[in-house]
Amino acid sequence: MSKIAAFYYTQSGQGLNILRSVCRPLEDAGHQVVYKAIVPETEFPFPWTADAFFQTFPESYGGVACSLRSIDLSDVEDAAQVIVEYPVWFLSPSIPTHGFFQTPAIRQFLKDKNIITIGNCRNMWVKAHTAVNEYITGCGGKPAGSIVLQDRHHNLISVITIVRWLIHGHKEKKGLFPAAGVSPEDIASAAVFGRIINEAILSGDFSGQLQQKLIQNGAIRYKPSIVFIEKTGYRIFGLWLKFILRKGDDDGKKRAFRLKLFKYYLFAVLYLVSPVGMVIFYLTYPFRYKTIQKDKRKQCYLLFFSMGHPKNKKLSGN
Ligand SMILES: Cc1cc2nc3c(=O)[nH]c(=O)nc-3n(C[C@H](O)[C@H](O)[C@H](O)COP(=O)(O)O)c2cc1C
């Protein structure tokens, strides 16, 4: 039986619930799962104030790590498998996730290990997923599987419920609005991924088969219209980052005004511009079809590109 090191950063507990659901079948099968929390030296608030929330944009997007409490690796040095759970912040890995992947001892630890990642987000995960896989390959780790759990409600609904949750602390359903976050059903059924990972551990096969089976069971849901918004948003975020950092990279008052402008921009774009963007997206869909299919394969099978996964293999199960 194997030892599995399972790292996570969570604010509300959602990330840990997902991780536990994935790991339960592994524990039932007799593997030892050692949970390791990623904890910032100075904790981020939860719920957030709007100002604190937007203050994290430059560092999240720019990949600037925060200091973390040191993670004791002595009891997982002999772990054969590693799982890393990460939340998405501003289309990027969260600041503590950047901290984790930039820690020299962690980078050394991840070298040559099979690493399975679990993204946890509202609905925009593509860029963070790419960044996390780049971190893994960058430290000599082997990306072995990718799972992404998200809120499956409509984009314009989940943007309201997530603000209610993250800023006001109310996650529950209210009136016409559903509960925020990944649904309890999706969290519970994430156990299926643990069973698939167990099969890979038993067979010792961490090649393309694992990711293929994960995808067939809904481990990654690629929604072209949301990816279109995300990619456009990501490019524009780069311009905002430059504009904000012209005021210095401290987290003080100097950049506060520009971050306020960014906040208004973000809400305006979500409510006013993105519905128009959607119409443009669907009108031009037939012309984009081939590019979308290519990108879908690249994102979902990202891992296998480096392993020579056949490019024209048709995706199934999404
Ligand atoms: C600062 C911040 C920025 C966020 N940005 C995004 C985002 O760009 N895309 C997305 O899908 N979710 C985003 N979210 C939602 C998080 O992914 C969500 O809070 C997380 O999945 C909750 O997990 P946790 O409570 O276990 O940390 C953001 C959350 C925070 C706190």
Condensed to tens digits (0 to 9), the pLDDT of residues 138-155 reads 999 999 999 999 999 999
Q: How many CA atoms lie within 13 A of 255 on its CB side?
A: 24
CA 91 to ligand 1 centroid distance, Å: 9
CA 308 to ligand 1 centroid distance, Å: 32
pLDDT of residue 252: 66
Closest CA to 147 of 287, 18, 241: 18
* CB distance 73 to 107 below 8 Å: no
CA 37 to chain centre: 16
**Which among 89, 229, 232, 259 is the best mutation to test ligand 1's pocket, defined by most ligand atoms within 8 Å of the CB?**
89
Report the C-alpha gap between 136 and 101 in whole angstroms.
Answer: 8
Task: For the chain, give the mean pLDDT.
Answer: 90
Residue type, 297: R
Report the C-alpha gap between 181 and 121 in whole angstroms.
Answer: 8
Indicate which residue's Cα is closest to atom 14 of ligand 1: 89
Residue 221, judged by CB atoms within 10 A of its CB (0-12, 13-18, 19+), counts as middle
Q: In which band, very low, low, confident or very high, does the pLDDT at 305 lie, cut at 50, 70 and 90? A: very low
CA 175 to ligand 1 centroid distance, Å: 23
Ligand 1 atom at shortest distance from the alpha carbon of 16:
26
**Which among 9, 22, 122, 223 is the best mutation to test ligand 1's pocket, defined by most ligand atoms within 8 Å of the CB?**
122
Report the C-alpha gap between 23 and 6 in whole angstroms.
Answer: 9
Residue type, 108: Q
CA 287 to ligand 1 centroid distance, Å: 32
* CB distance 217 to 192 below 8 Å: yes
Query: Is the per-residue pLDDT at 120 higher than 80?
Result: yes
Angle at 87 between CA 207 and CA 33, to 5 degrees: 55
Helical pair 224-245 and 126-138, crossing angle rounded to 10 deg = 70
Ligand 1 atom at shortest distance from the alpha carbon of 124:
11
Residue 20, judged by CB atoms within 10 A of its CB (0-12, 13-18, 19+), counts as buried
Domains in the chain: boundaries: 3-223, 227-289
Indicate which residue's Cα is closest to atom 30 of ligand 1: 89
Query: Is the per-residue pLDDT at 303 higher than 90?
Result: no
**DSSP classification of residue 270:** I
In 3-state terms, what secondary structure has residue 83? strand
Average pLDDT of the residues in 2-7: 96
Closest CA to 256 of 43, 49, 46, 68: 49
Tokens of 37: 């929390």
Residue-wise DSSP of 177-193: BPPPSS-HHHHHHTHHH
Q: In which band, very low, low, confident or very high, does the pLDDT at 302 lie, cut at 50, 70 and 90? A: low
pLDDT of residue 298: 82
Average pLDDT of the residues in 113-129: 96
Phi/psi of residue 118, nearest 5 degrees? -130, 110
**Which among 166, 222, 274 is the best mutation to test ligand 1's pocket, defined by most ligand atoms within 8 Å of the CB?**
166
The CA radius of gyration of the chain, in Å to the nearest whole number, is: 19
- The matching CATH number, chosen from 3.40.50.360, 3.90.1300.10, 3.40.50.720, 3.40.50.1820, for 3-223 is 3.40.50.360
Enumerate residues lining ligand 1, CB below 6 A.
10-12, 14-15, 53, 56, 87-91, 120-124, 162, 166
Indicate which residue's Cα is closest to atom 29 of ligand 1: 89
Query: Is the per-residue pLDDT at 178 higher than 80?
Result: yes
Average pLDDT of the residues in 79-105: 97
Report the C-alpha gap between 68 and 100 in whole angstroms.
Answer: 8
Ligand 1 atom at shortest distance from the alpha carbon of 9:
27
CA 305 to ligand 1 centroid distance, Å: 27
Condensed to tens digits (0 to 9), the pLDDT of residues 264-278 reads 999 888 877 778 888
